[in-house]
Amino acid sequence: MKYIKTISFIFIVCVIISCIKNKNTGNAKKIIVEWVGETILFPQNLDCMMRDSMMQCPETDNSNYKILLYIDSLGCTSCRTKLPKWRKLIVESDTLFENKPDFLFFFQPKINGIKELKILLKSNGFDYPVFVDRENKIMQLNSFPKEPEYQCFLLDKNNKVVIVGNPIYNPAIWELYKKIIRENGNADER
């Protein structure tokens, strides 16, 4: 059984590496090997919002799989998030999976950027809760890669990284996410 898991792991890493369209494949391989199997730590006492209202944050341990997206305050937030595409993936996930994954969006807004974040969520009709991490606690706990394409993770029930890569940037990554969730989504323990 261990042999099959090891072969599966190597296969997944190879598929991920071949899916990532990056000029620096060595860097991609290094990031993937470093992050797969790592446990993500979640900060406590964050604010959450949905559209333009603050709300109670959802639990982060409700399902067998979680898709975590981290967005820092650098650059154009709306350009990097592509919320309409995420909304489509969430809707697709609702129809594909009996035990759908949780989608966890962590935003580290710019100073006084809550207003910008509210506008972004409202203008994109994004009716899904997002974590507002003003102090960038999740980054402090985990030291994510600097490259935005590697700041998205498929996590298992125990918050261990299964896949590194943003399915919005690369549809092949979404196919890999779906395959793993379908094959293992009903398992009780990981």
Neighbours of 172 (CB within 10 A): 15
Task: Kindly give the residue spans of alpha helices, DSSP state H, lying in 37-170.
Answer: 77-81, 83-96, 114-123, 137-142
* Residue 154 · residue 163 · CB < 8 Å: yes
Q: What is the pTM of this model?
A: 0.81
Quote the pLDDT of residue 13: 55
The whole-angstrom separation of Cα 9 and Cα 104 is: 24
What's the confidence (pLDDT) of residue 141? Answer: 96
Give me the pLDDT at residue 36, please: 96
Query: Scanning the structure block, which residue is given the tokens 């967005």?
Result: 71
Give pLDDT, residue 17.
54
- pLDDT tens for each residue of the chain, 190 residues long: 554 554 455 455 555 555 555 455 678 889 999 999 999 999 988 989 987 788 888 777 778 999 999 988 666 665 667 899 999 999 999 999 888 899 999 998 876 678 888 888 888 889 899 999 989 999 999 999 999 899 999 999 999 999 999 999 999 999 999 999 998 765 444 3
Kindly provide the b/e burial profile for residues 132-160, where b requires at least 16 CB atoms within 10 angstroms of the residue's own CB: bbeeebbbeebebbeebbbbbbbbbbebb
pLDDT of residue 188: 44
Residue 151 in 3-state DSSP? coil
pLDDT at site 25: 67
What is the number of other CB atoms lying within 10 angstroms of the CB of residue 164? 25
Residue 128 sits at the vertex; the CA angle it makes with 66 and 91, to the nearest 5 degrees, is 70
